[in-house]
Amino acid sequence: MITQAQLRVCIEQRLAPLACSFSNAGDGTLTLRVFEPESGRVDLVVTGLSAKALQSEADVLTMIDELLYELDSNSLRQIELAP
């Protein structure tokens, strides 16, 4: 199982240059906020992320691909993310 710290690092690295903040909900899930660090503009908020549901690196990569799709779909401008 992937730890919450490992999950955070994977997400932060892949979504760079955007910044991420995480908060823990009372039910054990995470809320992820993805934002532009200079302006503070929030590009995406995802609630209910369960670290327990992400059992493997493949699970994490699939979730990150979904986040990237949402960011691309919601963005008014093209964001160059790290490869």
HSE, side-chain direction, 13 A CA sphere, residue 48: 0
5-60 per-position pLDDT tens digit = 888 888 899 999 999 999 988 888 889 999 999 999 898 999 998 878 887 888 88
Task: Work out the burial of residue 73: count CB atoms within 10 Å of its CB; fewer than 13 is exposed, 13-18 middle, 19 or more buried.
Answer: exposed
Asked if residue 81 belongs to a domain, the reply is no
- Domain membership of residue 45 as a residue range: 4-74
Asked if residue 41 belongs to a domain, the reply is yes
pLDDT of residue 81: 56
60-77 per-position pLDDT tens digit = 889 899 998 888 887 555
Structure tokens at 58: 């493949």
Asked if residue 62 belongs to a domain, the reply is yes
Q: How many domains does the chain have?
A: 1
